[in-house]
Structure 1
Amino acid sequence: MNKPEAKQFTAIVGGRPIIFETGKLAGQAGGAVTVRLGDSVVFAAATMGDKPKEDVDFFPLTVEYEERLYAGGRIPGSFFRREGKPSEEAILIARLSDRPIRPLFPKGMRNEVQVIMFSISADMENPLDILAVNAASAALMVSDIPWGGPIGAVRIGRIDGQFIINPTFEQKEKSDLDLRIAGTREAILMVEAGANEVPEDVMVEALAFGHQALQPLIDAQLQMAAEAGKPKREVPIFEIDPALVEAIRARVAEQIEALLDAPHTKSELNDAIDALEENLVAELAGEDATQARAVQEAFTEVYRAIVRRRILDKGLRPDGRKPDEIRPIWCEVGISPRAHGSGLFTRGETQVLTLATLGTPREAQELDSLEPVETKRYMHHYNFPPYSTGEVKPLRGQSRREIGHGALAERALVPVIPPEEEFPYTLRLVSEVLSSNGSTSMASVCGSTLALMDSGVPIKAPVAGIAMGLIKEGDQYQILTDIQGLEDHLGDMDFKVAGTAKGITALQMDIKIKGITPELMREALEQARRARLFILDEMLKVIPAPRPELKPHAPRITIIKVPVDKIGAIIGPGGKMIRAIQDETETRIDIGEDGTVYIAATSGNGAALAREKIERLCEVPQIGRIYTGRVVRVTDFGAFVEILPNVDGMVHISQLDSERVKSVEDVVRVGDEITVMVTDIDENGRIRLSRQAVLEGWTPEEAQAHDRNGRTGGTRKPSGEGRGGSAPRRPSAPTGKPSRGSKPPSGGRR
């Protein structure tokens, strides 16, 4: 078999080439490509099943991204030295790629489609996530799978007020905006953003700028599909019988309208709709399972259409609210007496309890990924148990949705977390969803703000979040504030905005239709801004500012700086010294590679004692300073005294007392404590001490003069006396190292 010829197609984006290549790899996949920017390369393959999947009423699409550490020349740090389950970052990239491609498949398609991506090369300069989204689109374009693409995806940053296309990792650190956008030629399909309180008008400009910037990627993919793509296969499309839909509409429309008009909770409406559907299926389908499924799908279509028309024609939502009306809100803090902070946020039937824990720098999360950030100091975790929706399901760990919602809430709070220099703590927030009927991720943002303020964390500003929805038919549309579950399910957009009173900190948009325009997004952002300010006011009625002090059982962290060459003395052989200090003072001590020492304690006395011990370990003897030390060795010419940990000096026999001394042991023995003055330190670091200077109250100069006289006077000089003292005892080379996590970054992973 001859070597296949690879074909390359280039898009110039932001002045740099993005190269699509196909034809060389994975020939049996439906379509396979690589996408390259700099030396970062992502592979993607898209494949479709031969037959429609039975017994499903949805499109079975799966999108997976696998992070391979060999791409960055690294061996995984796990016990087995191979990649395990997908990392959080890999899951987020998979979700990022899934969301914009899903709406473009033919409605009613039931053939299973799988898109698999993995990293081939990571240059630690160009992020891989945007390449993955473009790779997924390109693989579908060259495949035999019917799909309405292509899409292009870019990242937009902003430095000194100027937008940047596909910023590098280094540029991202300087940017106040991290916007990822995907869209078609005509419209925006997906938005994911983190920002440092960016105003709404700037965000709209960035969206328009990003949509224009992604157009060359669409051009390159269209050219690639035309020159190297496979013919698209024909697949069966499952459509609901229009006659059946009309028959069911005639039977149940009035009953559905009556149920929606009556006061109801989520569960009451669901139970009533389910009962109506069951009666209809029994009446029209009987025991015929195939016909039963058709009736169910037709009923769902009727229900969906009625809810949507009521909103568009009457501005009437399922629970009776106006389009821009927010459900009742109430909040509470201090729910947990022992957690370092807790906040309860309730909006309608959505309720989230967030609990905060403050930890030491060593508790920062270590990251084993293809990004240059090695640790994460701020973590937000999100749990969505089945009881929150009144269901019974087995607990199987965190789902991809839970990881995504936690990351969104984390991104919203990162810009207001104080930097490590001001607040040297690791922070972990956990949001427990207690009841769900509409955006629990945005409720988690609000609960997190309350918990942080209850903890006494000096956040820069409180953050609130709101979920917006959209119902659109042709040119007619209605933007909805604070959507509930039914509106999310039957609507066309889930648009989540979080931020402070000053601006946006996080933005996420999922679209079920083929995109929306920047003008519509401008209107949605303004409506969301008004809602966010209202929610912030409600939250601040409960706790108007962060508490001035941490909770009594939260650790207090004291920071001191020590010389880098003293780190080994603090740690001690095998970590013996630092463990002893921690045990004796009931503290936790972390040491950074730059000599920054973090002392965490729940009692001020313990922190002060630990600080004193560390400072003594780092102290450098000075001439004229007086120390109380322990005699560690006695010779015929003097005594050796440990004046500081691991630092000895010698008191000559002539300097032991005010009177002439015949024998050293007439004055001191090993183990005795005596007070001495440092009178000399020679070029080799050997220290000369005098007890007589302390007894006589001499100045350092007087002590030195008497010591010199003593050395040349009538006092007999025992053998070896001329050495003048002892060099400090060097501590053994430490086997422990400063904690890797002791110098974490100033925020969450950006």
Structure 2
Amino acid sequence: MKPETKRYTTTVGKRTIAFESGKLAAQAGGAVTVGIDEAIIFAAATMGGVREGVDFFPLSVEYEERLYAGGKIPGSFFRREGRPSTEAILTARLTDRPLRPLFAHGMRDEVQVMMFTLSSDGINPLDILAINAASAAIMISDIPWGGPVGAVRVGRVNGEFVLNPTFEELAKSDLDLRLAGTRDAILMVECGADEIPEDAMVAALELGHKSIQPIIDLQLKMAAEIGKPKKQATFTNATDELNKRALDHVSGPMTTLLAKPLAKAEFYGGMNDILTNLVAEFCAGEGAPSEKDVKAAFSEAEGAVVRERILGLGKRPDGRTPTEIRPIWCEVEISPRAHGSGLFTRGETQVLTMATLGTLGEAQELDNLSPIDTKRYMHHYNFPPFSTGEVKPLRGQSRRETGHGALAERALEPVIPSEETFPYTLRLVSEVLASNGSSSMASVCGSTLALMDAGVPIKAPVAGVAMGLVTDLSTGPEGRYRILTDIQGTEDHLGDMDFKVAGTKDGITALQMDIKISGLSTKIMTEALEQAHTARLSILEKMLAVIPEPRANLKPHAPRIITVKIPVDKIGALIGPGGKNIRALQEETGTKIDIQEDGTVYIAGV
């Protein structure tokens, strides 16, 4: 017998979003489709058991871009989808980030959320639909979770905000803000912008949070009407008694350790010594707690001590004040043969970025469901294990590296000169040489230096900084909190927020927020943006002291490109039969020749 399909709809701005469940994937924990017009995403959420030895929450969120959804056959040799595309990886990460904080602390059951495209109309972006579909699938499933979340995209066309804009509207927009949150607060922000001022960004955030409320109401209705009873989850948290014993035992040694400014190695080395002593004392004798539980209790104690010193005393592990930036030094011209290079060091984080200029024919060709089929500006980010003093096998680019490269790319994209004024393909590669937090924002700074060193006429220099947050909600709805400028690794690990802000002196070009609590108020986000603006101006001052403006000329070994316009009806004659004429010209002159459909000819040579 054919199952009954339940359909729910709501309106966000001028767009109708439809949720359906009941017809597909009956054996999954929960399954839905979510669509706007003919753009439809399928999502399924399922909870498994507990894998032995797992000491973390094993949540996996996967998004697979199926080209059949847009009537396309993959262009690979095997004519099927292979490894996830960059856009698919970014969509999976975008979905994971608002879901993860709402699972209960200490949960160890394996949870998998899978999404793929059912239909793509080339008009509506799919990433926001994926977040809403994942949330709805978990809500109607048997998985215990603290959702729902709603997600929306906010654009700005001719000064007016647009909710869930189409690709065509995004092309005209100076803002691309993706936001997800709960009823009460914002959970995740991902944004690219064309030097948007802070007050306009806050207005967009407030509008976005207000706009997701109908999506949250609809999911609560779905859960009440068709949701399954929730399963009992498995937790491995240490007991309250053990947590208290551990805190009482280590708070004195930790306070002594933190009394002086600590470098990364000193902090982790000192904490490891305290942990070793705690395990030796607590795990001895019959009936003693397990080493695993003692280590869990130590982690809770470490967070409590470090956080209280920040909240109560305004003292950070390395001795800085909440608004203080680590020491910065920069250099350019690191590589004599690279077309441009920039070295940016902030505290114990160091990034070297290399810039390469190529012809327009070397632009990346994209095989995806977006109407954008080429990309002339690329940013890649590498995070080798030696940058944190570790030894690990190299298994190709990680999802984190993909995400950080995309963030740096988004931060610099608004200042890259147009194809008409600078007809080059640009590839930037950021090599993280040392890391103690904020390496993605150091990549933004290093890339600005590399572009200026290469002689690329960027519209304005861009700098980035990572903001942190430590909260104590026990004293009220907002409670005590401290916003931290330029967070290091331990503040990211033990804090509540990693809020990356990049921009020029005039406005924001990129935002990314990851949080570990149930949400942030716009008041805190406003303060964080203001504090980040002050920090950004200070960082730009340090960078511009090294290279105040882009070089007037390209490096001697960078390609020179001249532009010639020919009549469209002469393109065939230039190319010749089977490309004979253009190949002969290239071989004779040692140049590369790219011909556009409008008759523009780019001739490149060194």
Give the corresponding residue for 2:326: 327
Deviation per CA, 1:332-361: give whole Å up to 9, x if none.
000000000000000000000000000000
The reply on whether 1:340 has 2:339 as its aligned counterpart is: yes
Give the corresponding residue for 1:376: 375
Q: CA deviation at 1:250?
A: 2.4
Q: Distance in 2 between matches of 1:264 and 1:521?
A: 29
The reply on whether 1:567 has 2:567 as its aligned counterpart is: no
Q: Distance in 2 between matches of 1:269 and 1:513?
A: 25
Give the corresponding residue for 2:497: 493
Q: Percent identity?
A: 69
Give the corresponding residue for 1:282: 280
Q: Distance in 1 between matches of 2:462 and 2:285?
A: 54
Give the corresponding residue for 2:267: 269
Give the corresponding residue for 2:296: 297
CA contact (8 A) 1:560 1:598 kept: yes
The reply on whether 1:4 has 2:8 as its aligned counterpart is: no
* 563-572 vs 422-431, greater mean Cα deviation: 563-572
Stretches of structure 2 lacking an aligned partner (at least 5 in a row):
474-478
Give the corresponding residue for 1:159: 157
Q: CA deviation at 1:236?
A: 2.6
Q: CA deviation at 1:245?
A: 1.9
For residue 170 of structure 1, what is the amino acid of its counterpart? E
Q: CA deviation at 1:261?
A: 1.8
Q: CA deviation at 1:300?
A: 1.1
Q: CA deviation at 1:251?
A: 2.1
Q: Distance in 2 between matches of 1:357 and 1:231?
A: 56
Give the corresponding residue for 2:448: 449
Q: Distance in 1 between matches of 2:602 and 2:14?
A: 45
The reply on whether 1:185 has 2:162 as its aligned counterpart is: no
Q: Distance in 1 between matches of 2:106 and 2:461?
A: 44
Give the corresponding residue for 1:194: 192
The reply on whether 1:112 has 2:110 as its aligned counterpart is: yes
Give the corresponding residue for 2:598: 594
Give the corresponding residue for 1:47: 46
CA contact (8 A) 2:148 2:216 kept: yes
Deviation per CA, 1:9-67: give whole Å up to 9, x if none.
10111122100000110000000000010100000000001x33332222110000000
Give the corresponding residue for 2:476: none
Give the corresponding residue for 2:553: 549
Deviation per CA, 1:644-676: give whole Å up to 9, x if none.
xxxxxxxxxxxxxxxxxxxxxxxxxxxxxxxxx
The reply on whether 1:58 has 2:75 as its aligned counterpart is: no
Give the corresponding residue for 1:683: none
Deviation per CA, 1:549-592: give whole Å up to 9, x if none.
00000001001111112112111222221111111111111111
CA contact (8 A) 1:133 1:153 kept: yes
Give the corresponding residue for 1:222: 220
Q: Distance in 2 between matches of 1:238 and 1:335?
A: 49
For residue 252 of structure 1, what is the amino acid of its counterpart? V
Q: CA deviation at 1:593?
A: 1.4
CA contact (8 A) 2:57 2:106 kept: yes
Aligned residues: 600
CA contact (8 A) 1:52 1:112 kept: yes
Does the residue aligned with 2:72 lie in a helix, a strand or coil?
A: coil
Q: How does 1:227-246 map to 2 (within 5 A)?
A: 227-246=225-244
Q: CA deviation at 1:287?
A: 9.3
Give the corresponding residue for 1:366: 365
CA contact (8 A) 2:262 2:317 kept: no
CA contact (8 A) 1:468 1:481 kept: yes
CA contact (8 A) 2:155 2:164 kept: yes
Q: How does 1:66-81 map to 2 (within 5 A)?
A: 66-81=64-79
Q: CA deviation at 1:285?
A: 1.4
For residue 29 of structure 2, what is the amino acid of its counterpart? G
The reply on whether 1:576 has 2:575 as its aligned counterpart is: no
Does the residue aligned with 1:261 lie in a helix, a strand or coil?
A: coil
Correspondent of 1:211 among 197, 209, 212:
209
Q: CA deviation at 1:127?
A: 0.4
Deviation per CA, 1:358-407: give whole Å up to 9, x if none.
00001000000000000001000000000000000011111000000000
CA contact (8 A) 2:237 2:293 kept: no
Q: CA deviation at 1:269?
A: 1.7
CA contact (8 A) 2:330 2:343 kept: yes
Does the residue aligned with 1:179 lie in a helix, a strand or coil?
A: strand
RMSD between superposed Cα atoms in Å: 1.1
For residue 488 of structure 1, what is the amino acid of its counterpart? D
Give the corresponding residue for 1:711: none
Q: CA deviation at 1:202?
A: 0.1
Q: Distance in 1 between matches of 2:442 and 2:296?
A: 32
Q: How does 1:657-672 map to 2 (within 5 A)?
A: none
The reply on whether 1:472 has 2:480 as its aligned counterpart is: no
Q: CA deviation at 1:290?
A: 6.7
Q: Distance in 2 between matches of 1:310 and 1:554?
A: 52
Q: How does 1:305-454 map to 2 (within 5 A)?
A: 305-454=304-453
The reply on whether 1:85 has 2:83 as its aligned counterpart is: yes
What's the TM-score, normalizing by structure 2?
0.98
Does the residue aligned with 1:422 lie in a helix, a strand or coil?
A: coil
CA contact (8 A) 2:260 2:319 kept: no
Deviation per CA, 1:673-722: give whole Å up to 9, x if none.
xxxxxxxxxxxxxxxxxxxxxxxxxxxxxxxxxxxxxxxxxxxxxxxxxx
Q: Distance in 1 between matches of 2:391 and 2:380?
A: 22
Give the corresponding residue for 1:247: 245
Q: Distance in 2 between matches of 1:437 and 1:249?
A: 26
**4+ residue runs over 4 A deviation:** 286-290
Does the residue aligned with 2:258 lie in a helix, a strand or coil?
A: helix
Give the corresponding residue for 2:532: 528
For residue 395 of structure 1, what is the amino acid of its counterpart? L
Q: CA deviation at 1:183?
A: 0.5
Q: Distance in 2 between matches of 1:226 and 1:252?
A: 46
Stretches of structure 1 lacking an aligned partner (at least 5 in a row):
603-750
Give the corresponding residue for 1:481: 485
Q: Distance in 1 between matches of 2:506 and 2:182?
A: 31
Give the corresponding residue for 1:138: 136
For residue 457 of structure 2, what is the amino acid of its counterpart? P
Correspondent of 2:506 among 470, 493, 502:
502
CA contact (8 A) 1:456 1:551 kept: yes
Does the residue aligned with 1:154 lie in a helix, a strand or coil?
A: strand
For residue 8 of structure 1, what is the amino acid of its counterpart? R
Q: CA deviation at 1:237?
A: 2.7
CA contact (8 A) 2:65 2:84 kept: yes
* 577-586 vs 436-445, greater mean Cα deviation: 577-586
Q: How does 1:642-721 map to 2 (within 5 A)?
A: none
Q: Distance in 2 between matches of 1:99 and 1:287?
A: 42
Give the corresponding residue for 1:660: none
Does the residue aligned with 2:553 lie in a helix, a strand or coil?
A: coil
Q: CA deviation at 1:277?
A: 1.0
Indicate the structure (1 or 2) with the bigger Cα radius of gyration. Answer: 1
Change (3 A) 1:90 1:290: farther
For residue 537 of structure 1, what is the amino acid of its counterpart? E
Q: CA deviation at 1:160?
A: 1.0
Q: CA deviation at 1:264?
A: 2.8
* 578-587 vs 542-551, greater mean Cα deviation: 578-587
Does the residue aligned with 1:111 lie in a helix, a strand or coil?
A: coil
Deviation per CA, 1:216-237: give whole Å up to 9, x if none.
1111111111111111111233
Q: Distance in 1 between matches of 2:318 and 2:291?
A: 29
Q: CA deviation at 1:259?
A: 1.5
Change (3 A) 1:159 1:110: same
CA contact (8 A) 1:286 1:292 kept: no
Does the residue aligned with 1:537 lie in a helix, a strand or coil?
A: helix
Of structures 1 and 2, the one with the larger relative CO (CA 8 A, separation 6+) is 2
Q: Distance in 2 between matches of 1:386 and 1:480?
A: 27
